[in-house]
Amino acid sequence: METAPKQNLRRAGLLAIAALTGLTLTNCTSLGGSSSSMNYDPPAHRPTNPSAVRVKVSTSKQAVYVMEGNRVLMATPCSVGTPQAPTPAGTFRIFNKDFRHRRASSPGAGYPMTYWCEFAPAYGLHWGFVKPYPCTHGCIRLPKMAAAKFFAMVSVGTPINIASHQPEDATVGATLPVLDDSSLPNPPDSYLKSNQVFEDAKYKGAMFVD
């Protein structure tokens, strides 16, 4: 049986999730012509050779492409760093994966960075609010369900190329939706710093279309 404090925390978590997703129950959460990322679930293909997976990030398009050879396994909008705190450019390798990662530095120490995939010291891809303009301190934020699929497809050692443009911008990137979480409320700190936030972030259902 749950204790009263645990019940209250879970209730706060459910209210937070409702606040984040409630708008998406009608018309895909239209926010000035854009959609919230909270219900965005891009199609993803299971890699046939996980060691051949690589990642491309376009900072100008704010898009992430998971590739296997020339095949796009998944494409998703993302948010990248501001001009004052840009996302590092170049070729890297993911060297740390941590589903339950939390921010270590201030401000925001202890905040969840779920589905963390680190490619440079203190820089990673993770779940976070996505906006149609650069808004991070250099990390790459992914929609929640896209982050879950990304985490499942990449491994420690997966190469990642980050550049202002990628060839896929003109193809699959041109079909990506505009996601804007700027109008969504921040969940309470008590929820963000609890373990419940990680439980609520787990993907439900089948991840891959094949």
| Assigned domain for 1 exists | no
pLDDT in tens, 150-203: 999 999 999 999 999 999 999 999 999 999 999 999 899 999 999 999 999 999
Contact 130, 37 (CB under 8 A): yes
The pLDDT of residue 89 is above 80: yes
Which SS3 state, helix, strand or coil, does residue 35 take? strand
> Running DSSP on this structure, what letter comes out for residue 25?
G
Domain that holds residue 184: 6-201
Contact 72, 56 (CB under 8 A): no
Q: How many domains does the chain have?
A: 1
Which SS3 state, helix, strand or coil, does residue 67 take? strand
pTM of the model: 0.86
Q: What's the CA angle centered on 102, arms 97 and 108, to 5 degrees? A: 140
> Running DSSP on this structure, what letter comes out for residue 105?
S
| Assigned domain for 209 exists | no
Cα distance between residue 51 and residue 130, in whole Å? 29
Token pair listed for 209: 């279309």
The pLDDT of residue 32 is above 70: no
| Assigned domain for 185 exists | yes
Give residue 29's pLDDT. Answer: 37
| Assigned domain for 178 exists | yes
| Assigned domain for 17 exists | yes
The pLDDT of residue 1 is above 70: no
Token pair listed for 32: 């000035």
Which SS3 state, helix, strand or coil, does residue 150 take? helix
Cα distance between residue 47 and residue 2, in whole Å? 40
Higher-confidence residue of 5 and 25: namely: 5
| Assigned domain for 148 exists | yes
Whichever domain contains 90, its CATH number is: 2.40.440.10
| Assigned domain for 206 exists | no
